[in-house]
Amino acid sequence: MATSPCGISAQLPADEVTRLQSLESFRILDSLPEQSYDDIVTLASHICGVPIALISLIDSERQWFKAKVGVEVQQTPREQAFCAHAILNPADIMEVPDATLDPRFANNPLVTGEPGIRFYAGAPLVTPSGSALGTLCIIDRVPRRLTPPMAKALKALARQVVRLLELRRALAELETLAQAQQERQQQLEATQRRLDQVILELAQQTMTDSLTGLKNRRAFDQILREDSSRMARTQSSLALILLDIDGFKAFNDEFGHVSGDEALQQLARVLQAQARAYDRVARYGGEEFAIVLPDTSMAEALGVAERIRQEVQDAHWPHRPVTVSLGVAAARASQDSLTLVARADKALYQAKATGRNCVVRDTEVV
């Protein structure tokens, strides 16, 4: 031990490195006051009949008070700490009946000045691993000794301080784990949202014609099935327009497939512009297109078809005028979707056979 103006300095515990690591793991230093710790020092002061009681934790350079009765300071240098001596013998209470007669403390500023320590008793706060983090200590300004019941009570209260520290650390670990789980859940949810978006985009790709941006044949079949089922449930009407570009093979032969693709894209834009908001336009195949018209009578569907035919005829086309032939069919709940397609296709065939650039309605009575 070395002598200093504070008296005889305490040597470091043999497990100082692991002791400090254990103390740090509790994350207690410089924490705010807590009632449970304050209650313990109040009990210690009352049971032992002393004016001062402290929960003192020994850091590398200081002793810091988690709870205190009878003093205002929050910490003192380690070299002044009685508790720095007490933790050297974790198994026993360190008792100093009269500090002025103890060479370790006689010149200590805490003895010669405020708070004027004469009596000290400290029960080490020992973790299950055996490290002494500090003490539960009691102090008086007059010489005295502990009675056996007081010593027993002081040890019991010291054990409760350690239990509180362990509970505090366990709660902190649970909070950290809960936070990590929450962050993980948020990551999983974000991943799921991205996955859902990718699935949606892939689904849209599988249901979209890459050239025109319209629904493709697969999407058309699904739409028609869904609308047919709804028609059966609600006893509503359903109409279908099939249309074909007139002489498209010759157009491709004359102007090339690139120009043919451009014509298909332009026609797709015309169809989208002329269809109603709730109609669904699809590329049925090649130069053939389809428009599903829910809740639509034959007369209404013929009006849409004629408007489309006229708009295509009047549009400006880069190479030569383009026209379309259209077949229209309508049905009610008694007819399935495949029959509706067959009837619209038959009407389209008749339109192409009778001169093209015209609208032909299905004449079957439904």
- DSSP state letters, 275-312: S-TT-EEEEEETTEEEEEEET--HHHHHHHHHHHHHHH
Is residue 362 within 8 A of residue 347, CB to CB? The reply is yes
The confidence score (pLDDT) of residue 333 equals 60
Asked if residue 274 belongs to a domain, the reply is: yes
The answer to whether residues 282 and 214 touch, using CB atoms and an 8 Å cutoff, is: yes
Answer whether residue 144 is part of any domain: yes
Q: What is the pLDDT of residues 237-270, one digit of tens each?
A: 899 999 999 999 999 999 999 999 999 999 999 9
Same domain, 154 and 242: no
pLDDT at position 68: 97
pLDDT band with cut points at 50, 70 and 90 for residue 348: very high
Q: Does residue 212 form part of some domain?
A: no
Domain assignment present for residue 322? The answer is: yes
**Count of H-run helices and E-run strands, the chain:** 10, 13
Peptide bond before residue 109 is cis, with ω within 30 degrees of 0 = no
Whether residues 12 and 159 share a domain: the answer is: yes
Q: Which of 147, 175, 203 is the last residue of a domain?
A: 175
pLDDT of residue 5: 56
Q: 124, 131, 125, 59: which is closest to 92 by C-alpha?
A: 124
| Mean of pLDDT values over 225-238 | 86
- Pick from 73-77, 167-171, 248-252, 329-333: least confident: 329-333
- pLDDT of residue 147 exceeding 90, the answer is yes
Please give the pLDDT value at position 8.
78
Q: Which of 57, 209, 192, 67 is nearest to 134 (CA)?
A: 57
Cα(157)–Cα(149) distance, rounded to whole angstroms? 12
**pLDDT class for 355, splitting at 50, 70, 90?**
confident
- Structure confidence at residue 230 (pLDDT): 85
Is the predicted pLDDT of residue 149 greater than 60, yes or no? yes
Tell me whether residue 210 is in a domain. Answer: no
What is the mean pLDDT of the segment spanning 97-122?
Answer: 95
pLDDT digits (tens, 9 = 90+) for 42-82: 999 999 999 999 999 999 999 999 999 999 999 999 999 99
Structure confidence at residue 334 (pLDDT): 57
Are 8 and 147 contained in the same domain? yes
What's the CATH code of the domain at 76? 3.30.450.40
What is the rounded average pLDDT of the residues 14-26? 94
**Among residues 95, 226, 287, 311, which one is catalytic?**
287
Is 70 exceeded by the pLDDT of residue 6? no
Q: What is the CATH number of the domain that holds 275?
A: 3.30.70.270
CA atoms of 308 and 62, how far apart (whole Å): 89
Q: 19 with 131, same domain?
A: yes
| Total structural domains within the chain | 2
Same domain, 91 and 240: no
Residue 345: domain span: 217-361
Predicted confidence band of residue 311 (pLDDT cuts 50, 70, 90): very high
What percent of the chain lies above the pLDDT cut of 90?
80
Residue 161: DSSP 8-state:
H
- Tell me: the pLDDT tens digits for 263-276? 999 999 999 999 98
Please determine, for residue 3, whether its predicted confidence score (pLDDT) is greater than 60.
Answer: no
Question: Does residue 165 share a domain with residue 301?
Answer: no
Query: What average pLDDT does range 171-179 have in this prediction?
Result: 89
Strands, DSSP E only, in the chain?
A: 3-4, 7-8, 52-58, 62-69, 75-77, 94-96, 119-126, 132-140, 238-245, 280-285, 288-294, 324-331, 359-361
Is 336 contained in some domain? yes
- Could you tell me which residue, 263 or 236, shows the higher pLDDT? 263
Question: 3-state DSSP call for residue 58?
Answer: strand
- pLDDT for 312 equals 96
Question: Catalytic site residue 287?
Answer: yes
Residue 343 makes CB contacts below 8 A (sequence gap 6+) with: 329, 331, 362, 364
Measured CA to CA in angstroms, residue 227 lies from 133, 279, 294 at distances of 76, 11, 7
201 pLDDT more than 80? no
Q: Are residues 323 and 227 both part of a single domain?
A: yes
Q: Judge whether 228 lies within some domain.
A: yes
C-alpha R_g of the chain: 46
